[in-house]
A and B are shown apart, each in its own frame.
Chain A
Amino acid sequence: MNAKFTRRSLLKAIVAATVSPVLISSVNAATIPHIVVVGAGFSGATVAKYLKLWAGSSVQVTIIEPNSTYVSPILSNLVLNHQKTTTDLSFSYVNYSQKYSINMVHDKVSHIDKTAKTISLENGQSIPYDKLILAPGIEFEAVSGHDFTKVPHAWQAGEQTNLLKSQIDAMSDGDSFVMSIPASPYRCPPGPYERACVVADYLKNSKGFNNCTVTVLDENAGIIVEADTFGAAFNEYGINYIPDAVVSSVDSDNKVVNFSIDGGAIQSLAATTLNIIPNQKAGNIVFSAGLNSGNWAPVNPLNYESTMAADIHIIGDSQGTGMPKAGHIGNSEAKICADAVLRSLNGLQPDPAPKTNSACYSPVSSSTATWLTIVYEYNSSTQSMQPVSVPNLSGGYPAASSGASTRNYNNMFNWAGNLFSDTFS
C-alpha cells in the first residue's frame, strides 16, 4: 500500500477492518500484477515494451525514469566529429508509453523496501511492486579532483557529450587531446578506442590540424577488443597509446592528469582537452539496496533475478553476468528477462536455454567503421552465459570485421535505426 495514506483511505480502512466483511473480501480480490521498471535506457525501455507486447493488459507496467528525453550513448562519438547531434540521438517516451499503455513517472528511485515490496521516489511517494526490474545503467568510481563539468567523461550522453564536443571545437593546431580508458569491465568495450580514432581523424582530416597530439592512457594491459583494427588506426593517426596507465588524480581547472604506469612513479600530463572516463560500477540504487557483489549485481542469467533478493531483476550495464556492458545486448537481456518474469507470474520456470547476442559498430573516421559481434548461450554446469562454441566459424567469437570500411559505416545506421526502434518505439 501507499505511504501517502489520506484521511479518506484511512476511514475506509477502519470501516473495512472493524465491521464490514464484504469489504474485506474485496480487499482480497486478485489484482493485476504490477511490474515496476527502474530506468528507461536500452535495457529498461526494452523490458517494459516487451512485457506489454507479450502480456497486454494482463500486466501493469510502470517506468520510473528521471529524464523525459533519453539521449543514446550509441553513436554519440559521432557528435564529437559533427556527423550527428544529440538531438538526432534523442528519444521521447510519449508515443512509446501511449502505444504500449505503460505508466511513465519521471522521478528517481531512492529506496527499495524488499520486505514490503515497495519503492520510494525522491518526491517521497511510495509505489508497490509485484516484480521489480532495475536497469539503472552505470555509476562512476570517484577520481580525486575530477569535476565532470570541467573535464567531461561523456560516457553518458547528453550535456556531457556536448561539453566535450565544444572543448574539441575550441582546439587550435598544435593543441593536445588526452583521454583515459577505464579498467575492464566498463560500458561498451570498443567505445573508448573508437573515440580516440574519431577525435584524431576529426582534428587531422576535418580541421586540417597536423600538429595536434592525441594521447590515450589505458588502464588495461593492451587494447581489449579489435586490437588489430584499432592498433592499425592508432598507427595511421599517430595516436600515442600508453597501456597499464592508472589515473590517480585530476587537476580539473588546469586540465592535468596524474597517473602511473605499471605501478611506477606518478607522472603528470597536461592537455588542452582532457577526457577522463572513470572506472565504472552498477547504478547507485543497486548499492543502496544491497544487491551488489563487488562493483556489479550478481544475477541468475536464466531470468536476471538477483541472487541476493527475490522478485528483483537486474538487466543492462548493472548486471554482473560477465557479458559485455552494451546497449544491444542490454536489449537482448531485457527480452529474456521479460519472458522469464511473465512465466514466473504464471508459475512457470524460465527458458532453460536462452540465447543473447551483442553487436557494436565503431566509427573510426567520419566515413568508415568496424564491428564486433558475439552470440551467447547458457552453460548449465557453470550456470553462466558463455560465447557459443562455433568450430566452423574461423576465429570464433568475438567475431569482428576484417577492417574499417565505408560499407560498415553505412550499415552502422541500418543497425542503429532498428535497435533504436526496437527499444524506444
Chain B
Amino acid sequence: MQRFSALSIFRRGLAGHESWQPQWRRAAPKGAYDAIIIGGGGHGLGTAYYLAAEHGLTNIAVVEKGWVGGGNTGRNTTIIRSNYLFDESAALYDHSLKLWEDLSQVLNYNVMYSARGVMMLAHNVHDVQVAKRHIHANRCNGVDNEWLTPEQAKEFCPPLNISPDIRYPILGAALQRRGGTARHDAVAWGYARAADALGVDIIENCEVTAIRRDASGAVEGIDTTRGALNTRKLGVVAAGNTSVVMAMAGVRLPLESFPLQALVSEPVKPAFPCVVMSNTIHAYISQSDKGELVIGAGTDAYTSYTQRGGLHINTHTLDAICELFPMFRRMQMLRNWGGIVDVTPDRSPIIAKTPVPGLYVNCGWGTGGFKATPGSANVFAHTIARDEPHPINAPFNIERFRDGFLIDEAAAAAVAH
C-alpha cells in the first residue's frame, strides 16, 4: 500500500502524480476463502478490514454486485451521532463514535470526520420531553448531549429561524457536540484500500445468486455471476437487499425495505456550521465541505427496491427547510436520489449469528447506519471470527423478536436517524 502523507503527495506531485497505484487490486474470484462477506458497502468492507486487522483472517473476499460504496453508503447524508436512548444502543453507537475519532489515522485515509455538532430540534411539548429524556439517559451512559434554549440554538446555528409565529416554532434543541459528518465515499474507499493491503480480495460486479449448504445445513459456499466460491463462514451485509440474500438460505427476517431519499443544493460558500435535524417535521440538513447543502427526508410509505421515491417526499422536506432557514429559500437544488433501507420493527439493527451454521447477518440499519459503520463492522468481525457475538452486539440478535427483548428506538424516537 502506498501510504498517503503530505510528503508523499508533494513528491509524487513533482512527478506529475503518475506513479500512484490503484487504491485496491481488481481481484478476481479464487475458488475458496476462509470467510466471504456479501456486500461492499462500508459495513461489509469494514468487517473484512477488522477480520484481517484484528482477527488474523486474511484469506477473505468481499463480493459486491455493483461497485464499492454504490449502495446506501454512497447515498446517505452522513450524519454521525450516538445519543440513542437505550443502554444497548448507546453502547453500540458510542463504540462507533469513538472509532470515528481516529479512523483517518488508523486507515491512513482522510474520511473527513468532522465533529461539528448535531442539533435535534424540539417543536412541541412532546418533543421537549422526549429530548430531555434522551439527554438524561445519555448522560447516565456517559454520552454527551445537552439541552439548548431557542436562543442558545440560534447562537450555535445562526441561520435558524426561532420566531415564535412559524408553523412549528422551535422550543429548544438537544445538541451532541461530538456528533457531525464524514465523507461517505472515503469511508468505503478507505476500508477497501486498507483491507486490500492486508490481502482481502474485493470482487466488484459480482452478484451472489445462491447460498449453498451441506447435508448438515451449514454454509458451504455461494454461487455468483462470476462463478462458485467455497467458504464455511459467510457474512451478509446487503442492507436493502438483505431479505433477498437471506432467502437464498431459507431465512426469513423481520425486515422491510423502503426508499429513503436525499438531495443536495448548488454549492455555496460556508454558511451552515453544524447538522440540524427535525424529526417532527421530517427534515435534516448540513453543508458539505464542497459547499452543497445536504438535505434528507423521511422514507416513502411503501416497500420498494427501485432506489427512487416520490417527489412529494422531497418537497415536504424542503417546505420545512425553507421555514426553518428562510435564507435558503432561493437556493437551487441540484440532484436528488434514493437508497433502499432495511427497516426492523424496533428500528434497531441485527448483528448476529443465524439459525444456519456459518451464516452471519448484519442488517436492519434502516435510515441510520452510516454513523455506525466502524463500530458495526468491528463487532461483526468479532462475531464471525469467534462464532459468538461481542458483548456490544449480543443484544442485537434475531431472537429478541421472539423473546420480547426489543430495543425499541422506534417508540423512543419515532424518527429517521
A pairs with B: no
